[in-house]
Structure 1
Amino acid sequence: MLKTELMNLWLWIGLGGFIGALLRFAASGLMQSKSAVFPLGTLGINVIGSFFMGFIMYSSEFGGLFSEEARIFLTIGILGSFTTMSTFSYETFKLLEQNELLLVSINIIGTVLLTVFAIYLGKIAALNLWKV
């Protein structure tokens, strides 16, 4: 890859990261009630991001919908800053510090199962779109 191509790709990833961070802030704020103890906003962001990751990757693989540059912009750029594993880890640890063991379990199991299931749903949506 040429130096200018690499620099352009980095710029697209950075722009995607900027967009993803703003989307995360807005969407998480809409989902999370200020009075809620459970980090529903983070869980919702991870599920939504996982769905779109599955959809984009399988649409790229089976439908040729996205160029390599567009796929990188969307997945590494936007979804990379949209999804929130570091926030998930921190919020889970805070629940653990507060001895909220049931909520810790729900958060870990819910996040892992729902995000993996969302990848599957994204795949199904892409495969149905492309009739594969």
Structure 2
Amino acid sequence: MRYEWRDYSTHRRSLGVTKFILIGVGGFVGALLRYYVSGWIQQMAKDVGFLWGTLIVNLSGCLAIGLFSYLADARGVFTAESRAFVFIGVMGAYTTFSTFGNETMALFRDGENGLALANAGAHVLLGLGAVWAGRALANLIWS
């Protein structure tokens, strides 16, 4: 199964008000889950030197999106509305790292190994670079 890139311009126009509400409610649920799971794990770890809460949220999000994407692709158990709620809303707010992981695995699955590795490297290295650049820019503007 070839990985299908999303055309967000068409996708956005096809979303009805109901789907927007489902995404918003899902985002609310996902954000609260992230806050509580991350805080609970970090408190249990009692190790302020390592960000266990963020790691567990990202790993559990990757596990969940792997389960959900299998059910969506192989079993067809999600409607368009439930996909909007779960994938875009809940999972998008819980952790975008799970989307990155799912899309990268789809590239590997489709035999696009070089593209998958480039995608992983670009997200990590460019993401860290963008955080550094944002902090440097803020320092220039506000210091």
Q: Is the 8 A contact 1:23 1:82 kept in 2?
A: yes
1:96 equivalent in structure 2: none
* Distance in 2 (alpha carbons) for counterparts of 1:57 and 1:84: 14
Q: What runs of 5+ residues in structure 2 fail to find an aligned partner?
A: 1-10, 107-143
Q: Answer yes or no: is 1:79 the counterpart of 2:91.
A: yes
* Distance in 2 (alpha carbons) for counterparts of 1:61 and 1:4: 21
Q: Answer yes or no: is 1:20 the counterpart of 2:30.
A: yes
2:60 to 48, 53, 66: 48
1:11 to 21, 38, 61: 21
Q: What runs of 5+ residues in structure 1 fail to find an aligned partner?
A: 86-111, 121-132
CA offsets 1:18-38 (integer angstroms, 9 cap, x no match)? 000111111001111354211
* Distance in 2 (alpha carbons) for counterparts of 1:42 and 1:50: 12
1:57 equivalent in structure 2: 69
TM-score by length of 2: 0.54
CA offsets 1:50-102 (integer angstroms, 9 cap, x no match)? 111111111011111111210121011001010165xxxxxxxxxxxxxxxxx
* Distance in 1 (alpha carbons) for counterparts of 2:69 and 2:14: 25
* Distance in 2 (alpha carbons) for counterparts of 1:20 and 1:30: 15
Alignment partner of 1:12: what SS?
helix
* Distance in 2 (alpha carbons) for counterparts of 1:64 and 1:35: 42
* Distance in 2 (alpha carbons) for counterparts of 1:4 and 1:60: 19
- Of stretches 3-12 and 37-46 in structure 1, the one that deviates more from structure 2 is 3-12
The one-letter code sitting in structure 2 at the alignment partner of 1:53 is I
* Distance in 2 (alpha carbons) for counterparts of 1:75 and 1:16: 9
Aligned-residue Cα RMSD (Å) equals 2.8
Q: Is the 8 A contact 1:20 1:82 kept in 2?
A: yes
Alignment partner of 1:32: what SS?
helix
Does the C-alpha gap of structure 1 residues 55 and 4 become closer, same or farther in structure 2, counting only changes over 3 Å? Answer: closer
The percent identity for this pair of structures is: 36
Does the C-alpha gap of structure 1 residues 4 and 50 become closer, same or farther in structure 2, counting only changes over 3 Å? Answer: closer
Alignment partner of 1:76: what SS?
helix
Count of residues in correspondence between the two structures:
89
